[in-house]
């Protein structure tokens, strides 16, 4: 059983909707990540949080807004998305000093109509 959970697992939304993705890790890690995975593309790192402080934002459009209230929870708030934002959104966590060994959640498959 994964130590990283994500909800919802599937989400369909219109371009004018506002929704949030939730991630929770039970591994005691201090680093959490949001990735986007689209067909025929490598995993794209979106945001990184270390000790609930954002340390990386890889030129992600402002329609994606992350929030990390504590080291165990991570949210991705979505608003006015575009159809090309449809993808699998993966959350991951790792020890702060071992970022190579990331544990992923099952992902949220997002479809924007």
Partner 1 sequence: RKEVEQDPGPFNVPEGATVAFNCTYSNSASQSFFWYRQDCRKEPKLLMSVYSSGNEDGRFTAQLNRASQYISLLIRDSKLSDSATYLCVVSGGSSGGYQKVTFGIGTKLQVIP
User: What is the three-class DSSP state of 85?
Assistant: helix
Of 12-20, 21-29, 42-50, 67-75, the segment contacting partner 1 by CB under 8 A is 42-50
Quote the least distance from Cβ 9 to partner 1, whole Å. Answer: 10
Would you count residue 101 as binding partner 1 (CB under 8 A)? yes
Beta strands in 1-113 (DSSP E): 4-7, 10-13, 18-25, 31-37, 44-50, 53-57, 64-70, 73-79, 87-94, 103-104, 108-112
Taking the CB of residue 22, how many other CB atoms lie within 10 A of it?
A: 16
Of 17-25, 40-48, 66-74, 79-87, the segment contacting partner 1 by CB under 8 A is 40-48
Would you count residue 55 as binding partner 1 (CB under 8 A)? yes
Would you count residue 42 as binding partner 1 (CB under 8 A)? yes
């Amino acid at each position: 059983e994964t130590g990283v959970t994500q909800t919802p697992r599937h989400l369909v939304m219109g371009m004018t909707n506002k929704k949030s993705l939730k991630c929770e890790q039970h591994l005691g890690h201090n680093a959490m990540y949001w990735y986007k995975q689209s067909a025929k593309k490598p995993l794209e790192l979106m945001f990184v949080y270390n000790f609930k402080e954002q340390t990386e934002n890889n030129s992600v459009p402002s329609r994606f807004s992350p929030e990390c209230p504590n080291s165990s929870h991570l949210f991705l708030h979505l608003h006015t998305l575009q159809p090309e934002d449809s993808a699998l959104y993966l959350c991951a966590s790792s020890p702060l000093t071992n970022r190579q060994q990331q544990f992923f959640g099952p992902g949220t498959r997002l479809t924007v109509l």
